[in-house]
Amino acid sequence: MRIKVNNVELNYQKLGSGHPLILLHGNQEDSSIFDKIIAPLALYYTVYAIDARDHGQSQQGVPMNYQLYVEDVAAFIRKLDLRHPYIFGYSDGGIVGLMLASQYTNITQRLMVAGANVNPDGLEKSEQMKYRVINFFQRKPEIDMMLNGPDISDAELRRITAKTLTLVGEKDCVKVEHTRQFSEKIKDSRIVVMPRQTHSSYVVHSLKLLNVMKEFFVEDKDPVAETDQVAEKSV
């Protein structure tokens, strides 16, 4: 399916019924990384798996940065009139999820991020070096983004009101301690370290998070008032 939002055409998959759940993929990937888990999740939620701009089957050759990704997802939610969708973001998708929940504080009640970092120093030195070498020989805007961003401040993290679960692999290229430190800045957050897992092993083409997601993404007893969640952007 395709939709035009924020002056860009995005491709997305929609499957299932129930409370809306948005899946956001990582850098240089697309929504196909969720191929194994979408159908099982669709038994419980209406799943929306979005290809980010200039990724997958979404519009190519357009400007890209983390803030544009955030505005794309906010506009997607607004256009489809999704009421407080749950959000799962992996890697860069997790970065987008954190920024979205910080800037639009009423947009979601539950946010799960996996393998996300809030600044480039959150990546292991070996990972940074690998991508510097790749970028030297084949410069890509997606890699520039990764090496030079994001820059999510403590104050921005403290603005997040959604119940948040941060995941990181025990053998992740994102530092476990970095994940622990930024998770502590979020008021209603906890961290889970995935034993023996790498950055991608428990997310990409995997069912390993199915039970974790089912347990975390549940209706709150006292839902947020039905206001225009996307219009109320924090500054």
Q: How many domains does the chain have?
A: 1
| pLDDT more than 90, % of the chain | 90
Please tell me the predicted confidence (pLDDT) of residue 221. 61
88-140 residue pLDDT tens: 999 999 999 999 999 999 999 999 999 999 999 999 999 999 999 998 898 88
Separation CA 190–CA 202 (nearest Å): 18
CATH number at residue 102: 3.40.50.1820
Residue 224 lies in a domain: no
* pTM higher than the cut 0.85: yes
pLDDT in tens, 156-201: 999 999 999 999 999 999 999 999 999 999 999 999 999 999 999 9
Is residue 167 one of the residues assigned to a domain? yes
Residue 111 lies in a domain: yes
Query: Is 225 inside any structural domain?
Result: no
Range(s) of the domain holding residue 165: 2-216
**DSSP string covering the chain:** -EEEETTEEEEEEEEE-SEEEEEE--TT--GGGGTTTHHHHTTTEEEEEEPPTTSTTSPPS----HHHHHHHHHHHHHHTT--S-EEEEETHHHHHHHHHHHHSTTS-SEEEEES--SSGGGB-HHHHHHHHHHHHHS--HHHHHHHH-----HHHHHT--SEEEEEEETT-SB-HHHHHHHHHHSTTEEEEEETT--SSTTTTT--TTHHHHHHHS---SSPPP-S-TTT----
Q: Does the residue 232 lie in any domain?
A: no
Q: How far is Cα 129 from Cα 153, in angstroms, rounded to an integer?
A: 24
The answer to whether residue 224 scores a pLDDT higher than 50 is: no
- Look at residue 21 and tell me if it is in a domain: yes
Residue 138 is assigned to a structural domain of this protein? yes
> Would 229 be classed as within a structural domain?
no
